[in-house]
Structure 1
Amino acid sequence: MTGIEFLASFLRTGRLHGIGIGSTFGEVDRAFRHRFFDVIGEGGQSVRRDYGFVEFCFNPGDAWVMSGGSIELHRLASGDGMATEWARATGVAFPRYIAWEDVREELARVPGAPELTVTDQGGFLEYRAAASNVSVIVVDDEEEQRGYHAGHGDVWSVSLRAPVRTR
C-alpha cells in the first residue's frame, strides 16, 4: 500500500492498521510491530508511545487506551531511511514528501470520503475531517521549499484526537 492510499483511508476511518481511539496497548502492539519507546507523563497519568514518525497517546481508565496519535510526515524529508524502515515493518511505502493535492485526489476516490473543513494555522492550513477526528496539517508558506523539510503544499503531519465531549 502506498502512503497516500494509507492516509486517505485514515482520513475516512480514523483507524490505522485497525486501531484508533479507545485501542489498548495490546491492540497497538499487535498492529504495530515496530520498535518504540514510551514517554510517561507527569504523575503517570499519560503515556506517549513514540515509533519514530508515528506517535500514540494513551490515558488510563479501566485499561490504558489510546486517546490520540500523530503521523509526523515532515520527519521523512530528512531522508535518513525512516520511510524504508517503516515500509519494511508495516507494508506502507511513504515517499520522502507527500503533496496534499495527491492525498486529496486519492481521498476523492475513496467511498464515503469525509467532508473537510479548513482553518489557517499561521504558515500552515489544517484540514479537519470531523467524522473521523483526523486533521491534516499542510505547509502554507510559499517560500518554504522541499529540502530536509516539507515544502509549500506538502503534508506536515496528520493527527487523530478523541472527540471533545460536550454536555
Structure 2
Amino acid sequence: MSATGLIASFIATGRLYGVGIGSTLTALQQAIDFDFVDVVDEDGDSMRRDYGFIEFYMNLDQDWRVSGGSIELHRLAIRTDITDRWCAAMRDRFPRYLTWDELYNEFSNLPDAPSLRNIDQGDFQEYRASETRVSVLVSNDHEERDERLGHGDVWSVSLG
C-alpha cells in the first residue's frame, strides 16, 4: 500500500498500522519499529510518543492506552531525512507534499469510506470523519508551495 493509501485508510478506520484509540503501548511498540521520544507530562498520567512526524498520545490507566495521534505531514516538507529513514524501517515512503485532491481521490475509492464534514477553520479547511474521529487539516494559505506547504496541501491528519 502506498503511504497515501495508508493515510486514506487511517481516515476511514481510525487506525494507523493497526493502532487506534484504546490500543496498548505494547501494541504500538509491536506495530511501529522506529526511533521515538517519549514525553511524559509532569503528573505522569499522559504521554506523547513522537516518531518525528507521527505522534501517538497516551493516557495511563492500568496500562498506557492510545487516546489519539497524528501524522504531521507539514514536517516532511522541511525534514526530508525522516522520510528516508521511515521508508527503510517501515517500508512506506511518505511524500514531501500531499495535496488534498490526491488524498481525497485515494480515500473516495475505499469501500465504505465514511462521510466527511467540511469545516472552514480560516487558515485551514478541516475534513472530519466523525465515525472514526479523524480530521484532516488542509492549508487554506494562498501562497505557492516552496519549502513550506502551499494552498491545498495536507497539513496534518489527526485522531482524537
TM-score band, normalised by shorter chain: over 0.9
Unaligned ranges ≥5, structure 2: none
Task: Measure the CA separation in 2 of the matches of 1:79 and 1:44.
Answer: 30
Alignment root-mean-square deviation, CA:
1.0
Structure 1 residues 49-58 or 144-153, which shifts more? Answer: 144-153
> 1:16-165 residue pairs with structure 2 within 5 A?
16-142=16-142, 144-161=143-160
Which 4+ runs in 1 deviate beyond 4 A? Answer: none
Give the 3 Å change call, closer, same or farther, for CA 57–79 of structure 1 in structure 2: closer
Q: Secondary structure at the match of 1:107?
A: helix
Contact 2:38 2:47 in 1 (8 A): yes
Structure 2 CA distance, aligned partners of 1:38 and 1:15?
20
Distance (Å, rounded) in 1 between the aligned partners of 2:120 and 2:92: 30
In 1, Cα distance between equivalents of 2:153 and 2:3: 13
Normalising by structure 2, we get a TM-score of 0.96
Partner Cα separation in structure 2 for residue 106 and residue 26 of structure 1: 30
The percentage of aligned residue pairs carrying the same residue is: 49
Deviation at 1:79, TM superposition (A): 4.5
Q: Deviations over 1:15-60 (max 9, x none)?
A: 1111100011110000000000110112112100000000111101
Residue identity opposite 1:148 in structure 2? E
Offset from partner CA, 1:117-136 (integer Å, 9 cap, x none): 01111210110001111000
Would you say how many aligned residue pairs link Structure 1 and Structure 2? 160
Q: Does the residue aligned with 1:16 lie in a helix, a strand or coil?
A: coil
Matched residue type, 1:93: R
TM-superposed deviation, 1:146: 1.5
For structure 1, the 5+ residue unaligned runs are: 162-167
Opposite residue 152 of structure 1, the aligned amino acid is H
Output the CA distance in 2 between the equivalents of 1:80 and 1:3: 15
Greater alpha carbon shift after TM alignment, 12-21 vs 88-97: 88-97
Question: 1:41 is matched by which residue type in structure 2?
Answer: D
